[in-house]
Amino acid sequence: MREICVLGAGVAGLSFIKKVRSQGAQYKIRLIDNKRYSYNKREFISNLSVNDYFDLKRWAQDNDVEFIHDSVERVNPKRKKIYFKESDSIDFDSLIIATGLKSKKMSLKGEHREGFFYLSQMDPMKIKELLKVSCEISIYASSILGCKFARAINSLGKEVKVIADSWDFLGEDKDRMIAFFQNKGIDVYLESEICEAIGEAGVKAVKIAPLKVFSSQAVVIDSGFIPNADFFDESVNIKDVFFSNHEDLYFLGDVNCKNIEHEFFFNYNYDEAKYQGEVLGDFIVDENLDFFERKIIQEQGKKDIIDDMLGGKSLIEN
C-alpha cells in the first residue's frame, strides 16, 4: 500500500486528505503536526472565533489517518526520511509539505516571556485565557492581519496600543485607518518599533522606540511571513506550484507562495489553500491535474478589504 505523509494540519493539508479519502483511495496516510488542535486562523484573527477548533487526533481517527504529534527537526528528501524531535524517524513514499507560513523573527528582548506571541504561533485557547486577566495589549502590526487583530481585541473592551514601522501598504487609506483606531480609543505609534517585552515570568510592560514604556500584559507580533520550510537537509526547489525537484515531494498551500514576503492583505489565502488541497488530491489519486493559478489582489480589492474592516465609510469624511 502506498504511504503518504502530510506535514502540516492546516486547511491545505486537511483538504488534501479529505479529497483523497472521498475518492476511496486505499492509501496509508500519516498526518504530522506539532499542535494537538486545528482552528480557522482567519476567523480567530478577525473576531476571536474558535467555533472551528477541533482535536486533530480525533479527526485523524475519523478519517482513517495516523496522527503523529511531534515537531519535525529535518527532512532528507533523497533518503525519503523524516526526523522528529521526540519520535523515531520514519520513511515516506510521498510527502506533502503543507506547513504554511511562519512569522519573520524580530529577535526581541523578552520574547521568551509568558504573554508574548508571534501571530503565526498563537494558541487561541492560551490567548483566550490570557485575555480574561489582561486589560492592556500591545500589537505590532505590519499587515492588515495585525490591524484586524487589534480591532478584535479592542472590541472586548481591552486597552490596545498598536506599534508599526510603516503603514505604507495602506496607501491613501493610512490616515483613515489611524482615525478609525483613534475613534475606538486605540493608540497608534507609527515609525516605531518594539524593543523589549518587560517582566519576570510574564509580560508586564513594553518598551518601544522612540523611547516610550507602557503597561501591557501581552504582546502580539505581526511581523510579516515567510514560508515555513527550512527543515530540509539539502536545497529543495519548487517547480510550478505543487512540484519540486525531488520526485514524490510536493508543496501545498501558502508554503508554495514565493512572493509571500510582499503580501499584506491575505485575501485569497484560505480559500486557495483549500482548493489547492483538492487539486493535488485529485492528482495523487488519478494523476489528473487541474490548472491552478494564484489570484492577485488588485488595488480595488485592497480598498474593499479596508472598507469592510472600517465599516464601509470614511471616518475622516464623516
Domain boundaries, the chain: 3-103+225-287, 116-223
Long-range contacts of residues 51-60, Cβ cutoff 8 Å, at least 24 apart:
53/124, 53/125, 56/9, 56/31, 59/14, 60/31
Superfamily of domain covering 3-103+225-287: FAD/NAD(P)-binding domain (3.50.50.60)
pLDDT over 70 at 318, yes or no: no
**For the chain, how many residues are written?**
318
What pLDDT shows up at residue 1?
58
Q: Averaged over 121-140, what is the pLDDT?
A: 93
**How do beta strands 238-239 and 243-244 pair?**
antiparallel
Q: Provide the pLDDT confidence category of residue 287 given band limits of 50, 70 and 90.
A: confident
Cα–Cα distance for residue pair 35/8, rounded to 1 Å: 9
Q: Which residues pair with residue 220 across a beta bridge?
A: 117, 139
Q: Which residue has the higher pLDDT, 26 or 313?
A: 26
Prediction pTM value = 0.91
Q: What is the mean pLDDT of the chain?
A: 92
Render pLDDT for 5-37 as a digit per residue (tens, 0 to 9): 999 999 999 999 999 999 988 899 999 999 999
Phi, psi of 56 (to 5 degrees): -70, -35
Q: What is the mean pLDDT of residues 254-265?
A: 90
Confidence of residue 267 (pLDDT cuts 50, 70, 90): confident
Half-sphere exposure of 220 (CA within 13 A, CB side): 31
State percent of the chain over pLDDT 70. Answer: 97
Residue of 171, 209, 193, 183 whose CA lies nearest to 299? 171
Place of cell 509568558: 114
How far apart CA 37 and CA 12 sit, in angstroms, is: 15
State residue 317's pLDDT score: 34
Q: What are phi and psi of 303, to 5 degrees?
A: -65, -35
Convert the pLDDT of each residue in 38-60 to its tens digit. Answer: 999 989 999 999 888 999 999 99
Angle between helices 144-154 and 174-183 (to 10 degrees): 10
Average pLDDT of the segment spanning 278-305: 87
What is the reported pLDDT for 288?
A: 78
Q: How confident is the model at residue 154 (pLDDT cuts 50, 70, 90)?
A: very high
What is the per-residue pLDDT across 156-205, written as a single tens digit (0 to 9) for each?
999 999 999 999 999 999 999 999 999 999 999 999 999 999 999 999 99
pLDDT over threshold 70, residue 275: yes
Residue 313, pLDDT > 50, answer no
| CATH code, 116-223 | 3.50.50.60
Which letter, b or e, does each residue of 102-140 get, where b requires 16 or more Cβ atoms within 10 Å of its Cβ?
bbeeeebebbebebbbbbbebebeebeebbeebebbbbb
Long-range (24+ apart) CB contacts under 8 A made by 292-296 are 292/241, 292/242, 294/257, 294/268, 295/268
Is residue 312's pLDDT more than 70? no
- Mean pLDDT, rounded, for 100-127: 93
Per CATH, 3-103+225-287 and 116-223 having the same topology is answered yes
